Structure 1
Amino acid sequence: MKRPNEIIMTGSGKKASVKALGCRLNQYEALAMEGKLKAAGYEIVSYGEDADLGVINSCTVTNEADAKSRNAIRRFIRKNPEAMTVVVGCYSQMAANRIAMIDGVDYVIGNHDKLNFLDYLTDDKPATPVIVRERISREDFSIGFVGDPDFEQRANLKIQDGCDFMCSFCVIPFARGRARSRDWEDLFEEVRQMIRKGVREFILTGVNLGTYESSGNDFLTLVEALADLRGVDRLRISSVEPTTIPHELFDMMADPGHSLMPYLHIPMQSCCDRTLAGMKRKYGMKEMTDFFDRAVQAIPQLCLGTDLMVGFPGETESEFEETCERFLELPFAYCHVFTFSERAGTPAAKMDKQLQMEEKRLRSARLRRLSAAKRMSFHEKQLGQVFRVLLENPKDEFYSGYTDHYVRVVVPQAPAGLENRMALVEMEKATPEFIEGSLLSYEGE
């Protein structure tokens, strides 16, 4: 085992690499870690390059995520055998001892302490490399964003962590702990820092966003306060449980002058009542059908997406067909498809009638085809309309960006220097992944 002190305590002139696997929340946390490493004097390099320190923010939502995390760890060690290797995150929380047995791993740090990982690496080497607290605090948390992170036009903003809903298939309440919220002042200090860096769109990120509550402020109050900040041009909700959405959010999304964008991603998981009950979800299909009807009627330009899981234990062919049919009937623009994965410690892992992997693969493939067809149809319905697009990623004489309702748009033959400007774009050609548009006008023209 390498001794890290000489590397960690003298960050100046040293290189560090941070790799995030899995969800949007992990991506945010990786950026926060990079900021703290920069403040300590490290040069941040891309994962895969030569580095003196590697931090892998791991994922454990499925068996495949576990495998990807292990592969990322081993890849860094092979590339940098003399470097310090630190593994943090959800897989660290759930399988710390297994990770610690990987040759070349120096520290395994759980979710409670991962954003403060540098504090542990500057101390004397512990008898064990594992730093994992089984009980994660439910108190409000602060992040204390520092350094000079490389923000882009759109930035994730972590407001919440953990979950109390305890769905039967989900390991996240064990990996990330129970629901807790980010300190109000700490959150707004980061937003102000982001605005100074030029961020115009903020994507609210967490595990169960709608349960946010800090210093007497709930999720609705938070959205209203963020929207009132000068410099917050767009607010977007990443994914939210339908039972936590106040009706006032519909009014905000319907107002074209409001910062909250007309986009909802609702993680349904299934469109079959029996499967939803087995999953311990907090709704049935009648409630959800009524919810979607109200949302579409209230928000004219709404883009509605969902998550659907296939292969839940006991899911019959007819129940899967019911999910497919309901998905086609409901006003979804797309779905993200997930294959059920047994997670140790969850009730679903102990259920009878576990499906064979081949059957789960076939169902996943079918649902992905249906989603691709719905997305293409949704894109075709946008043709001929003019939407506001935040231009970003200039490449080979074209820009990409997103409309208010989260349709990806590619704009060819645009002038140079338009990055981070709002533009009016006419939708002209639909593809399954994006719409090609024509630039009509832009800010500062």
Structure 2
Amino acid sequence: MNCYFLTFGCKVNTCETASMQTMLRSAGHCIVTTPEEADVCILNSCTVTESGDNRTRAALRKLRRSYPDMLLVLTGCYAQAYPEQAESIPEADLVLGTKGRSRLPELLETWQQTHTPCGAVDAYTGHDTFEALPCDIMPDNTRAFLKIQDGCNCFCSYCIIPYARGRCRSLPPEELRRAASTFAEHGYQELVLCGINLGFYGMEWGGSLADAVELCCTIPGIRRVRLSSLEPERMTDEVLDRLAALPQFCPQFHLSLQSGCDRTLRRMNRKYTAAEYAGICSRIRSRFPDCAITTDWMVGFPGESDADFEDAVRFAEEIRFAGIHVFRYSPRAGTRAAEFPEQISGSVKKARMEQAQSLAKASKFAFFKAQIGKTFPVLFERERGDGYHIGHAPNGAVIRVFAEKSKKSLRNRIFCVKIEENDADCCYGTLVAQDAADSAASPAALPNSR
């Protein structure tokens, strides 16, 4: 069958979509890029917010109206967290959660034979192991996203994800080496390590995230290793020291904050105070002077007073984030916060979100401006129709270089770039030492300079 994927949510979902595509290709199916070509659509859902659930249901309705004979498969976090709701959606022919994705080819084969709707959501037991799925290609990416951790043990009062993902579990080192080597063999030079609660990698056997990064840095052909979203309390001095010793490590840290107000953090059941978070940021910057620290910020949590919100604003200003993802609190059925009194009105959430987004925009601009005069090795990923090559610096800054028509594509090659200007969305620079293109063996290959 021709299979089309529609993916919502985080980088972990992106990883899992790529794995499902690999499995289906191995089973003889064809992956297509438009729904018009497809016999089946696999929708990989997100359930972090209620709007994500609404988006999933709306997408299924639209697909059914447009393609009445298409097989529609609903999978992902929404299906796992709310299986009864998911299985009651009339447009969903097959429902599969986040557990047992390896069954997808078998379920499609059964459908071809029976055309019988099926709910196949298996509950987590608390003793599950990491499901290592094959993956060889990330569609349209020069960076490979590698899922190495799943599940969460934290149970923040607002969050449904522990119910959608089960308890913490990690990809064993031997499987990690195999997966990283496969990506290297396919020409990927950068790995982005992903997880639901990435900092808890290795906790089952007394290991740490630094173990995974060190292992990946030993793989021939892997020249850069980057981390996705992290819980801040796992960034210990030992972990930071080990990361700082790795030339291939990219100093970009997305440390989930949620609020800079201690009172709100306690009600959220977060595991740190604002002062402890600030201390972690300080220790990171002492080891990685050119790093980027980005974060998530939730506004309108139940009981958040005006004073609480202003504390969060002041904290965000003090930390000087390179980027902030701002979002409004969304009640999730099954979480403690959904039952809290003092739910915040939509109008107050909207006003706070606008103020936080304004601060986020200014912080991002300031970060890009601070890169002017520095030189970074940049892994180029694509060309744009507006005449620029685009890539990322080690610290995650988006870099654009003017594309001369006479020059070949820079895609999947590393060039050193001097940053000369910026706007609200990226930095602009020029290539330096072009005769040494691809000689920048690591993010630390060329010293940054003013």
CA distance in structure 2 between the aligned counterparts of 1:382 and 1:203, rounded to whole angstroms: 22
Q: Which residue of 1 aligns with 2:164?
A: 175
Report the Cα offset of residue 273 of structure 1: 0.4
Task: Please tell me whether residue 279 in structure 1 is matched to residue 279 in structure 2.
Answer: no
- Is 1:416 the counterpart of 2:408? The answer is yes
Q: Is residue 215 of structure 2 the alignment partner of residue 225 of structure 1?
A: yes
In 2, the alpha carbon distance for the partners of 1:168 and 1:247 equals 28
Q: For 1:140, give the aligned amino acid.
A: T
Which deviates more from structure 2 when the two are superposed, residues 435-444 or residues 261-270? 435-444
1:440 aligns with 2:427: no
Check whether the contact 1:389–1:422 (CA below 8 A) recurs between aligned residues. Answer: yes
Q: Are residues 1:131 and 2:120 paired?
A: yes
1:356–1:25 CA distance, 2 compared to 1 (3 A): same
1:365 deviation in Å? 1.3
Amino acid of the residue matched to residue 14 of structure 2? Q
- Indicate if the aligned counterparts of 1:408 and 1:434 stay in contact, CA closer than 8 A: yes
Structure 1 equivalent of residue 296 of structure 2:
307
CA distance in 2, matches of 1:274, 1:47: 48
Residue 53 of structure 1 pairs with residue 50 of structure 2: no
Distance 1:195 1:136 in 2: 35
Q: After the TM superposition, which of the residue ranges 124-133 and 339-348 deviates more from structure 2? A: 124-133
Residue aligned with 1:388, SS: strand
Q: Report the residue type matching 2:297 in the other structure.
A: L
Q: For 1:313 and 1:137, how far apart are their aligned partners in 2? A: 29
What residue number does 2:3 align with?
A: 16
AA aligned opposite 1:240: L
Aligned residue for 2:53? 66
Q: Do 2:138 and 2:145's aligned partners in 1 also have CA atoms closer than 8 Å?
A: no
Q: CA deviation at 1:78?
A: 2.4
Match status 1:120 vs 2:112: no
Greater mean alpha carbon deviation, residues 380-389 or residues 58-67: 380-389
| 3-state SS, counterpart of residue 399 of structure 2 | strand
Q: Deviations over 1:6-52 (max 9, x none)?
A: xxxxxxxx311011101111111111111112112222122443310
**C-alpha offsets along residues 41-83 of structure 1, whole Å, 9 cap, x if unaligned?**
2221224433101100111111100011112222222232112
Which residue is 2:447 aligned to? none
Gaps of 5+ in 2: 440-450
CA distance in 2 between counterparts of 1:264 and 1:91 reads 27
Contact between 1:305 and 1:333, CA under 8 Å: does it hold in 2? yes
The two structures have a TM-score, normalised by structure 1, of: 0.92
Alignment partner of 1:49: what SS?
A: helix
Q: How far apart, CA to CA, are the structure 1 residues paired with 2:31 and 2:18? A: 11
2:76 to 89, 95, 100: 89
How many matched pairs?
431
Deviations 1:248-302 (A, max 9, x none): 34335545x6111111110010000000000000011121222222221221111
Give the residue type in structure 2 aligned to 1:64. Answer: S
The reply to whether residue 384 of structure 1 matches residue 373 of structure 2 is yes
Q: Give 2:153's aligned amino acid.
A: D
In structure 1, C-alpha distance between the alignment counterparts of 2:125 and 2:145, rounded to whole Å = 23
Q: Which residue of 2 aligns with 1:161?
A: 150
Q: Comparing 115-124 with 157-166, which one deviates more in the overlay?
A: 115-124
Say which of 183, 189, 200 aligns to 2:189: 200
Check the 8 A contact 1:34/1:149 in 2, yes or no.
no
What is the rounded CA distance, in whole Å, between the counterparts of 1:270 and 1:194 in structure 2?
37
Tell me how far apart the structure 2 counterparts of residues 71 and 441 of structure 1 sit (CA, whole Å).
51
Shift of 1:246: 3.0
**Percent of pairs with identical residues:** 33
TM-score by length of 2: 0.91
Question: Aligned with 2:433: secondary structure?
Answer: strand
In the aligned structure 2, how far is the partner of 1:136 from the partner of 1:156? 27
Does the 8 Å CA contact 1:250/1:299 hold for their aligned counterparts? no
Q: What is the alpha-carbon root mean square deviation over aligned residues? A: 2.0
List runs of 5+ in structure 1 lacking aligned partners.
1-13
Q: State the match for 2:322 in structure 1.
A: 333
Are residues 1:100 and 2:87 paired?
yes
Contact preservation (8 Å) 1:387, 1:403: yes
| Aligned counterpart, 2:420 | 428
Letter in 1 for 2:417: V
1-structure distance, mates of 2:122, 2:279: 42
Letter in 1 for 2:241: D
Q: Is the 8 A contact 1:161 1:176 kept in 2?
A: yes
Alpha-carbon shift at residue 438 of structure 1 (Å) = 1.2
Separation in 2 of the partners of 1:237 and 1:80?
39
